[in-house]
Structure 1
Amino acid sequence: METPTPPVLLLPAPRTSTAELIARAAAWRGYDVTDRVTRAEGRRVHWYGGPRAAARLAGPLGLGLLEPADDWLTHVPHTLLRRHIRLTTLGKARALRERVFVKPPSAKIDLLPAAVHEDGSGLPGRLDPSTPVLVSEVVEFVAEYRLFVLDGTAVTGSRYAVHGHLDPAPLDAESRAFARTVLDATAASLPSAVCLDIGRLSDGSWAVVEANMAWFAHCYAAEPDRVLDTVLRAAGPITAVTDRDRPHLNRPTAPPEQIPERRTADAGRPTPTLS
């Protein structure tokens, strides 16, 4: 009797600390964990890594990569967002003459760091004016939390920053409660496997920070096994993607060679506290 071929978890080298953690969890479950694409060909493959390599490999390996819509934040109820955000173009953002927070809508556009600008005149001039950007009024997050969400439930997560400084810690009761409130209101508009960031503002209220792809998110102090569960759903065979998730399939905004790799927060740089 032939031994079934194990599924593959493909991780690019060099591995981040999150990749190492989920690699151990996957190996324990019997996955073939590798950075060699040739070992993944013709097999059931899951991915954890950056958007440029993902865009290059998704087609040949039959990967279905899930991520939120670029304009997802703009549809979050104001009571959960606590600030005004709009999706626009870089060209229009350059014409702004007020203090704003500007960020790309996803990790696929990395030549534009998320930052506060006194006005739009300081935005990079080397990018195409049609590049999509999210423009937000400026608020201050005093603590930020990351949640790994599977089927509308936060299966694990952790605090990752306090006053803009990396400070991982377990989730607390308040963060769990707000996460439940957010997911009750928004889970239907998100992929079934996704990364959701929330935070506490300087006035003590809570707000959504952003949502992003689980297959390139640092886990901080979250439980690696539950992170792996989310990653396996978020970046697996396209043939396993349900009708519910098909609208959330990743579609690169540029050819793979033009998509810069983004470093994860493993580098010690948490998400900016202003947005």
Structure 2
Amino acid sequence: MTRSFLAVTPHATPTRELLADAARRRGMAVEELSAQGGAASLRGRDGGHYYGGPAFAAYVVDDLAVSLLEPTDGWLTELPRTFTGRTVTAATLAEARALTGPAFVKPPTDKSFPAAVYPDGRALPDEVVLPPGTTVQIADVVTWTAEFRLFVLDGEVRTGSQYATYGRLDARPLAGHRYEAGALDFAAWLLAAQGESLPSGVVLDIGLIGERWAVVEANMAWFSTCYAADPAAALDVVLRSAGPAGRVSERDRPFRRRTRSG
């Protein structure tokens, strides 16, 4: 029987170490990829999974024969305001640069420039060399009372963590949190209505705008910080989100990230 393995980038992070430890405890091998050779030494080996950033992934997933699942770029902008609690629209970078007032601007998925509140479009980073037609998301400026990260597998929350209060890092386990019931109820409502529009393994960020629950965004589990979530439960979601290409279900095929080989 082929032994599954988790391939991790050479850049150590707390989440990388937590997931690697969880993988070893369940009998998986953990392979640290090379900054120079990438995944060449693992080419042809079955049972691979990946955790790390998208830039590094572009050079290794073909050798690993892994498919990366991620939300579509338009997922957040297509959600009803009932779930977002604010206006979120898709635009080009050129249109964002024409903004005359404050707005929250971010790339849909990649971290090509900092997601932040910009006083106007001219404040978007000059050093970022991106085509004017690059898609961005523009959202109303709101104050998040608290924000939570939920690791979702097959439409169910497997584990979660608070990660911020009023925009400041504040990691605490979801289990036993005073907002646990509210967070899980909101997530269940959202996933019942919109779950099919997300990969089967995904990270969902939600939070409170005042006392109203809303979606912050959805992210790829294979490049998400655990914060204070249970690493073993989070690993289940990571493995689904970045596993063997031949095992991707028909349901998840629309969510595969494009690679060098297409």
TM norm structure 2: 0.90
1:250 alignment partner, SS class: coil
Aligned match for 1:241, one of 243, 248, 255? 248
Equivalent in the alignment of 2:36: none
1:243 alignment partner, SS class: coil
* Number of equivalences: 247
- Corresponding position: 1:175 with 2:183: yes
Equivalent in the alignment of 1:23: 20
Residue deviations 1:26-79 (CA, integer Å, cap 9, x gap): 111111101143553222210000001111112222110000000100111211
**Gapped runs of 5+ residues in structure 1?**
256-275
Runs of 4+ residues over 4 Å off in structure 1: none
Residue deviations 1:197-247 (CA, integer Å, cap 9, x gap): 000112x11110000100000011111111110011000111111111010
Partner amino acid, structure 2, of 1:149: V
- Using the alignment, how far apart are the partners of 2:81 and 2:186 within structure 1? 14
**In angstroms, what is the RMSD of aligned CA positions?**
1.4
Equivalent in the alignment of 2:117: 116
- Corresponding position: 1:33 with 2:33: no
Equivalent in the alignment of 1:231: 238
- Using the alignment, how far apart are the partners of 2:155 and 2:56 within structure 1? 28
Q: Tell me how far 1:19 sits from its aligned partner.
A: 1.1
- Using the alignment, how far apart are the partners of 2:9 and 2:29 within structure 1? 14
Q: Tell me how far 1:163 sits from its aligned partner.
A: 1.3
Identity %: 49
**Gapped runs of 5+ residues in structure 2?**
34-38, 175-179
Residue deviations 1:108-146 (CA, integer Å, cap 9, x gap): 242x11111222122234322111100111111010000
Equivalent in the alignment of 1:133: 136
Contact 1:65 1:235 in 2 (8 A): yes
2:136 alignment partner, SS class: strand
- Using the alignment, how far apart are the partners of 2:60 and 2:120 within structure 1? 38
Contact 2:161 2:228 in 1 (8 A): yes
